[in-house]
Chain A
C-alpha cells in the first residue's frame, strides 16, 4: 500500500531558527495536504498542493511540491513558540478521498 515517510522524526530548534520537514512518497501523487497537530489537539488543515513544482506561502510557512509529485516540504522561517506541534503530510491517490498520513515531524522550540 501507500507509504509516506517524513524526516526528521523530531526537531528541536532555538526560537528564531528555521525549520524544515520533508515528505517522501513511493508513488506519484495527485495532491498532498499538510496538517498541524498541537500537543493534545487534533490535526488542523494547513494547505493543499496540486501542481508539479507548486510553491505556496502562508506568512512564515512555505510549502513546496516536487516536480515529480513524489515529495514535498514545509519550511518555517524564524520559528516561534506557537509553531510547536507535529506536522503531518497527507496524501491521497487519484479518485480516492482516503488520506494516508505521513509519519510526522514533531517540532519543539527552545525559548
Chain B
C-alpha cells in the first residue's frame, strides 16, 4: 500500500509568515510522529500522537509550533511567525500499535526554507 505522504515537498516562506505542513500516515497506523532534521544532523523529535491524542509535545521548540491530528489520521504541523532558524526538513513518521516499540515509517519530508 501507499507509504507516508507529506506535502508540500518544498516550502519557501518569508520570515514572519505562517506555514502549515501536512502528513498522511499509512492507513491504519495508530501512532504519528513529527521530527525536525537540520542539515547534517539526525532527526530531532518534535511531537507524537496516538490516534487523535497528542501524548508528547516535549520536543516542540516554542509556542510558535503547533500540531494537530483531529480525526486520528491526517496531521498538520503549523509554524507561526516563522524565523530563519526554523529552516529544516520536517519529517513525519507513522507506526502501527504493538506491545513494544514498532518500526517507524517515514515520509519524504517537507524542506522548509525561511528567507
Contact = CB atoms under 8 A, between A and B. Distances in A.
Main SS class of interface, A: loop
Assign chain B's interface to a size class: 20 to 34
Contacts of A103: 41-42
Contact of B106 (A43, A96, A97): A43
Contacts, number: 58
Interface residues of A, number: 21
A38 to B, nearest CB: 11
B89 to A, nearest CB: 9
B103 interface: yes
B47 to A, nearest CB: 9
A50 interface: yes
B48 A104 contact: no
Given A31-B100, A33-B101, A43-B91, A101 B43 contact: yes
Most chain B Cβ neighbours within 10 Å, of A31, A88, A97, A102: A97
A100 B45 contact: yes
B95 interface: yes
B107 A42 contact: yes
A48 interface: yes
B106 A99 contact: no
Contacts of A101: 35, 42-44
B108 interface: yes
Most chain A Cβ neighbours within 10 Å, of B31, B41, B106, B108: B106
A54 B41 CA distance: 28
Contacts of B108: 41-42
B39 to A, nearest CB: 12
A83 B31 CA distance: 29
Contacts of A42: 91, 106-109
Nearest to A103: B42
Contact of A48 (B50, B103, B106, B109): B103
Nearest to B98: A97
B65 interface: no
Interface of A: 30-31, 33, 41-45, 48, 50, 88, 92, 96-104
